[in-house]
Structures are given as C-alpha cells and as structure tokens.
Structure 1
Amino acid sequence: MAPTTHWLWYKSADCKMVLLLSRTYFPEGTNGSLACDGQFLCYTIELPWRENKKGVSCIPEGYYLLRKRYSRKFQWHIEVVAVKNRHLILLHSANNALSQLLGCIAPVTELSGAGLGLQSRRAFAMVKKKVYTALEQSAIVSLIVQS
C-alpha cells in the first residue's frame, strides 16, 4: 500500500475512537496530554525526540492504529501499529522514560518532570479499559500524535 493511501486510511471516517496525544518536547524527555473525543484522559511520558532512533527516541508525530497485545513482560497492553522504521511500540505503564521506556508511551496520572510521571499503572489501566472496550465492540481505534 502506498504511504499516502496508508495515512488517508488512518484518517478515514471509519475510526470509531480517536485518541489525541499532544506533546511538549524537552531534552530529558517528552511530556504529553492524552485526550479522547475532546475529553482529557491522562498525561503521558516518552523519551526525548532523537530523530526516531530505535530505543532512544519517541516516535514521530503522525496517525497510527492501536491494537491489543500480550507479552509476558507487560501482560495485556496496547500496541501502536505501523510506526515508520520501528516495531513493538507500546502503551504500557512506566514512571521514568529514560530508565523504563525504549520508544514506548507511558500514561501517567501526574507529570513530575521532563519524561517523569506518577501513578502510571492507574493511568494505564484507565486508558487500556477505554481502548479495549472500543476494540471489543469492533471499533477502529486510532492515535494522533502532535505537538
């Protein structure tokens, strides 16, 4: 599929749930605010922007699909699908981007610094419940990442 068609598909009217991640970049980490249908859900932390380098950078801004995923390490979590030049980008709990993330996104209840947050398990459980409920109703769930 051509990249243009790929991005248009993400933006299609078929999307039943759209999460919007609005970022602020810092040298030590990236902080964000996650909303769904205009309603604030939680904050997020990520690695700093380092040109989309694997393991040390947050992912590029853009449109993505989300899906359920299971691993022994994180149990049931959320995968961000089709990130350019990256794989296994996840939404999972973490409170320190530099020591606990390799490019993933961690929902947090409070921000405590650049790339730092509090009560991530609580925030992630809430986001996961919302996303999983939509997916179980056969909805397409997308994520828009912007600054």
Structure 2
Amino acid sequence: MRFFEDIEIGATTRLGSYTFSEAEILAFARAWDPQSFHLDAAAGARTHFGGLVASGWQSVVVSAKLRAQAWAREGETLRRAGLRAPRIGPSPGFKELKWLRPVRPGDTLTFESEVTAKKPSATRPEWGLVFTRETGTDQHGRLAFELTNCVFVERLEA
C-alpha cells in the first residue's frame, strides 16, 4: 500500500489466488459455518447448490488474508528501496458483499482489489480513507465474490 496521496483511483492490485480444497471447506464449515451444504456433499446435493460448497465467509477470510499479504509485500518492497512504508489503519467496515457463484472443492479464485474512491478523514487529519472493490474470479473467468472495502491509510500531508 502506498501513502494516501500516492494512491490512484482505478489502480488494480492482484492479491493472489487460492484453491479451495474439500478438506479446508469442511474444516472451515465445522469451525465457523456449520450448515449442511458446507459440511456434507450428499446434503448439499439435496439443495439448490447440487453439492458441497464453501462458506461465503471463507471467501471473505481468504480475500482478507491475501490483501494483508499483498500490503506486506509492497511495504517490504518500499523498505528495500530505502523508503518508508505507510501505516495502514483498521477498516471501518465493508458493504455490498455479494456471493455471486458457489465455490466448490477444487475451484480456484483469483482475488483483485481496485481503488474506487478516496477521501481525507474528516476527524483524523493524519489518515485518509481508501475505498476498494474486492473481487474473486473463478478459474473460468466468472465473478464469484465481491465487496466494497474501506481502510484507513496514512497521509503524508498530515
């Protein structure tokens, strides 16, 4: 992540890809989302999903992890170049979460983040708010997941 002033609207970052295995889908579901279609292929087959599917929340968690790793890589690149990496603050939240396609065992989602807007914080002059559209596209090029995210990013001008 760059400093607030250096972030360009429209900039897209590839966060990475993740393949959802059956074992990981089951483990996540047992721990966090124990619905039948996340826990049992036969039960899932009796639903509109037609089989075992990953929890949508698992897509959110994977996206968050890949986003944090991408920011860490960019920060390390800046430090190696002798530059100071900005502080990244918390997210005040996300909205417009959509699970557009079921994610099945063996599916690979590629996650991207596109900057859609930014504004200086009205109450914290050392921070700006950066808004992104986060997406997960499956191996067939179909959009499976999206949300609008917001995060505080350090400002140089403060």
What's the TM-score once normalised by structure 1's chain length? 0.23
